[in-house]
Structures are given as C-alpha cells and as structure tokens.
A and B are shown apart, each in its own frame.
Chain A
Amino acid sequence: MLRIEDLSAWYGEARVLRGVSLEIAEGEIVTLVGRNGAGKTTLLRCVMGLHGAGGARAAGTIGFLGANVARLPVHRRVRRGLGYVPDDRGVYATLTVEENLTLPPVVGPRPWSLDQVYETFPRLRERRRSPGTKLSGGEQQMLALARVLRMGARLLLCDEPTEGLSPLIVQQIGAILRDVKRQGVTVLLVEQNVHFAATVADRHYLLAEGRIVRSLDNDEVRAREHELLEHLGI
C-alpha cells in the first residue's frame, strides 16, 4: 500500500528526516511514535506532498499503490486514495460542518454516505449547519475523521488524533479506527499515547532524530511501555 524509501527532508539547512524507509501493507494500522520534534508531522507532510514550499525540500521515493507519487502534485496524490487528518484537525471556520464534510471529492472505492457519517457521529448531524470551528475539540476531531471516511480514502494519515482529548473520546476514536480497518482501510497513525497505540495498531515504528530506529509489535510495546514513555519524555 505505502512504501517509503530513503526519505530525507530539510527545512532550509536543517535536515529533519535522514533516510527514512518504511512499509505498510493493505489493511494494516501502523503507528509512528517519536518525541516532540522527531519529524513525525514532517513525514506525513512528505507523503502528502505538502512539504516543499518556502525553503523546505524532500528527497526519496514514496510508493503508493505501486507507483512512485513523490513528484505528483498534492491533489493528484489525494485522488489516488489518500485521506489526511492534520495535527490541527483542519476544520474550516467559514464552512459549515456539512460543507466541511462534503468539500473533498470521493477518492476511493467505498466512500461513506452522509447518512452513514451522521449515524456514526450523531453530534455532527445536530451541528451540521454550524460553522466548523464552533465545534468542541473532540467534535472537530470526529469531523476530520468523518471527512476522510466520506472521501473513501484507502490510506488514512492521521496526525495525533487523540491529542488533548478526554479518555472517552479517545476510546471512541479507537473504536472507529478498528471499525475502519475491518472495512479494509489502511491507517498510518502518528501517536504519542503508546498505550492507546497498542490497542488499535498492528505494528509500530519509532522515529528518533529523523530515522526509524526501531520497529515494534504490540507485545514489545506493552513490555517496554515504561522505557518508551521515558524515551518520549512523557
């Protein structure tokens, strides 16, 4: 599904990613953990094609569904089936909740209908005429997730979807991700909450100083939770 090879990224002179290679198979949920500033967001932005404006540049191959997309413009990559949930949730203030949901095109074989979205997220139905940013943080996160599901994206790139949310909502997000996986959707999840990560993901990559320093399975994560948390500085 996704195969990143020797990916490097710079902001001006500062090299943030140093030859990252990783691979995700169809239907997997894989998390990317790493301390603040490790380059997790940069990596997702490279996959999307957003890294490259204003002094930033990247090199390496990004194979998606068997083709190198590293030179494609952002919207063309997305139309092959990428769904992006940015770290700030990416909700528009000038669009209503429903407009936020229906803005992006359908990019994959199994898009959710609006009804399906509203059944899963009743709160979004209630607030569908409100400006997107009038929602609470948790609701905005649900909106961002619902939006990429409505696109029918094959690969979701989610940047810290649980950050700053209550345990109840985190649980809900976990349930949705597991549900989505059952429908064959693949997920690359940036996550600091390793405990949560171990409950939803199949495998984990640890990113440090711009490199993948370790690949872990759930048992390893559970066994080394303290060590990991210490590394992450939490």
Chain B
Amino acid sequence: MLQQAFNGLVGGAFYALLALGLSVIFGMLGVVNFAHGSFYMLGAFGAYVLLDSFGVDFWVALAAVPLVLGVAGVAVERLFVRRLTGLDPLYGFLFTFGLALILQDAVKHEYGVQSQPYPRPPALSGSLDLGLFDYPAYQVFVLVVSVLVCAATWLLLTRTRIGVIVRAATERPELTRALGIDVGRWVAPVFGFGIALAGLAGVLAAPMRAVNPLMGADLIITVFAVVVIGGLGSIFGSVAAGFGIGLVSALGNLYVPALSQTLVFIVMAAVLLWRPAGLFGREEAAL
C-alpha cells in the first residue's frame, strides 16, 4: 500500500507541474489553455527526437526542451493569444483547442500513433532502497524534481519583486496598470513559463510513460479536474490538489479499481458542492 501511495505521488508530480502551469496562465491571462496537454506531449517528443535523431541524451533534453518550448510559448502569446484579450473567452477556448488539435495531428502525421520507446537515463536505471521497499530510482528523481520546481515557483511568486507583480496583475490587472505597471510586458513571459513547465513534465514523462501523440490529451482532462479542485488560478491549490489527486487515484485504484477512471471527477463534484471556488480558490472578488 505504501508503495502504491508512492506511485500516486509520482503520478501527482505530473499533475502538479501541469496544473501549476495552467494555473499561472489562467490567473494572468484569464485563458484556459486547452493546448497545455499538447505542449506536454511535445516535451516528451522533443526528448525522443533529440535522442533518436541527434543522439542528445536525457540530461541535455531536460534543460533544452522546456527552454525551447517556453520560447515557443512566448511567441504563441505574442502572435495569437494577445489578439484575443478583451474578446469573449470563447475565442481563447477555440484558439487553444484548435492549437491542441493541430499540434497533436502534426505529430501524429509524422510519427504515427504507436508509442515510441525512450530509455531511462543510465544513471537512474537502478532502484533505490527506501527502507520499507525498493523503488525505481528514476521515479524518485521525478518526484524530487517536481517538488523542487513547485517549491521554486512558490518562492519566486512569494519572495521576489517579480512575484509581487505577477500576483498583483493576476488579482487585479486594471488596478495594477493604474499603479504604473506595464502588465502587458509580463503576460508573454508568464505564458511561456507555464508552457515550459508542461514541456518539463513531458521530458520527465518520456522514460516512464508511453511517448505518443495522444499522451497529452489523455492526461490533461484529469489535470483540468485538478485545477478546478485546487481552485482556478490558485497556485498553491493546484500543486496541492495535483499531489493529492495523484494519491487519491492511486489508492482508489488499489481499493476500488472499478472506479479508477471516474474517481477524480467524483472528488471534483464533491469539492465543488462543498466549496464552489475550489479548495483554495477565492470567491470572485469585485473588480
């Protein structure tokens, strides 16, 4: 059971990284990024292509792929998402959903739907003795990286000047401009940062999950549930809910396997009945 709980936390690590990115993007831009899962998939494919075609190893991919995707995210914001500000949120939905389909089909066209193999990095191929049980070293690595990245993001947002500006612009964009801050300048970097997190999760997923064009679409539905449970736009909520849901669904899998697919949504419905704004969300404040 403890081992299953650990599996849950590792699964939760992916939810947390993706939900964190979705959450900062939603907070700052008011856009629900339906393409988030596709960027996760691109992260995994980026690692695969680098290794398969160029012989570039995991460690380089771990740094380079999120960076490149982050820059791509900045470009997407500058070129497209920016033009949708002030319009009906439906346009944001249509754009990001369309982008998701385009990215997914482009990869499908190139590599087909079968899963591509990606080996674990040699240094992490063994297992670690965690005292009570042995556990694959790579999975432990994923968990540690995810926790560190979430913690670093948290510190960035709570302890730095950039964090103050991003929080202010997230809570009240108009007021923040009225206090002399060029909010628009921060939007693209925040979008790019969220995308980079999705890319990082993708690279981390490559050695332990099937690398295929649909991997993002499969995962992202659950991540949306996670974000809703944590509270839309709440940074802390999305991370906590990410690990929490990972844990819940792993244990659910163990005890009530029949419900394993739906459990997350049952939790979501229950949370929403109890707290409509999510666990850590604030009720919509007056503008």
The chain A residues found within 8 Å of chain B, CB to CB, are: 48, 50, 53-54, 73-75, 78-79, 82, 84, 86, 88, 90, 92-95, 99, 102-105, 107, 147, 151
Contacts and interface: CB of A to CB of B under 8 A. Distances in A.
B30 to A, nearest CB: 13
Interface in B97-112: none
Contacts of B165: 103
Interface string B37-81: 000000000000000000000000000000000000000000000
A50 B178 contact: yes
13 contacts: A50-B177, A53-B86, A73-B182, A74-B178, A78-B177, A78-B179, A86-B178, A88-B286, A92-B167, A93-B282, A99-B168, A103-B164, A103-B176
B178 A78 contact: yes
Given A73-B177, A94-B171, A104-B180, 10 more contacts: A73-B182, A78-B180, A79-B180, A86-B175, A93-B171, A93-B282, A95-B167, A103-B165, A103-B179, A107-B180
A103 B180 CA distance: 9
Contacts of B164: 95, 99, 102-103
B174 interface: yes
A74 B169 CA distance: 14
Nearest to A89: B175
Given A103-B181, A105-B180, A50 B168 contact: no
Contacts of A50: 174, 177-178
Contacts, number: 65
A147 B180 CA distance: 12
Contacts of B172: 90, 92
Contacts of A73: 177, 182
A151 B178 contact: no
Nearest to A77: B180
Contacts of B171: 92-95
Nearest to A102: B164
A74 B165 CA distance: 16
Contacts of A88: 286
Contacts of A107: 180
Interface in B260-287: 282, 285-286
B168 A151 contact: no
Given A50-B174, A53-B86, A92 B180 contact: no
Nearest to B181: A75
Nearest to B285: A93
B146 interface: no
A64 to B, nearest CB: 14
A92 B181 CA distance: 14
B170 interface: yes
B86 A54 contact: yes
A124 to B, nearest CB: 17
Contacts of A105: 180-181
